[in-house]
Amino acid sequence: MGVYVTAENRFVAERVFDSGADVTVGGDASAALIIPGWVGSPLTVFSGGAYLHLGPGMRVHMCHDEGEDRVRGTFEELSARGFTFPLRVTVSKLNISLGNGVTVLVHYLPEGTSA
């Protein structure tokens, strides 16, 4: 998993998480991924390793490696289409825009493999 910050034009954090991990982003050591310049409390992105927490103003684009099972939209658009959050992730790649130029990129690896 990596965090890209547009204002810095670079990845500011990268980490491989164990299966079932909770993942938070934030500005201090209480977050699993620290983002320079983050303002406010840490934000939960995943719980239980497989549940996406999307909130107002956030956007996701997710699919499998070959583009199948694609889901794309803002929290508001997906909620209007009947999605409820946290959402069980059943695909291998996610691009999650948190707003303010912060993007979380995720690639699920098969159990027993490494990055």
Residues 84-99 pLDDT 10s: 999 999 999 999 999 9
- Residue 113 maps to a domain: no
- Residue 19 maps to a domain: yes
- Residue 84 maps to a domain: yes
* Tally of domains within the chain: 1
Please, what is the average pLDDT of the chain?
93
Does residue 86 have a cis peptide bond before it, meaning omega lies within 30 degrees of 0? yes
Residue 115: pLDDT band with limits 50, 70, 90: low
Between β-strands 10-14 and 2-5, what pairing exists: parallel, antiparallel or unpaired? Answer: antiparallel
- Residue 65 maps to a domain: yes
- Residue 93 maps to a domain: yes
pLDDT of residue 109: 78
| Boundaries of domain holding 22 | 2-107
Residue 28 has pLDDT above 70, yes or no: yes
- Residue 112 maps to a domain: no
Q: How far is CA 22 from CA 7, 48, 95, in A?
A: 26, 5, 17
pLDDT of residue 26: 95
Q: Which two tokens stand for residue 94?
A: 């996610």
The H or E element spanning position 97 is strand 93-99
- Residue 61 maps to a domain: yes
- Residue 74 maps to a domain: yes
